[in-house]
Structure 1
């Protein structure tokens, strides 16, 4: 496995030579400032979500902190 610093951050190459991407879940806070709310690290067919917030209401600030229903 190889890890090096790329333009947008660390790049990780697996033992079989494929890139292991890291996706960012971002949004805007109530002041319009970009905030990273979580990451998804992908290894082959497996993705692992890592939340970077302490309170889910931060994500849903425009909905009074309440998550929308999964089925409306």
Structure 2
């Protein structure tokens, strides 16, 4: 499972303590997580972190790169 943490546009990186306070969506695959991140980006939200049960952690910059690759 993957958790996608989002916040209002312009939000900064989050600390582990702040993570528990943010809304998140669960996804079954990384592809689904990136798809949700794309949706959130289109609706004016910032996706700050994608975290997987397998230890995967993508920060905002890595998510932005993945979204750019997906669009090309």
TM over 0.5: no
Look at both structures and tell me which one has the larger radius of gyration over its CA atoms.
Answer: 1
User: Which structure is richer in relative contact order (CA contacts within 8 A, separation 6 or more)?
Assistant: 2
Higher helix share: 2
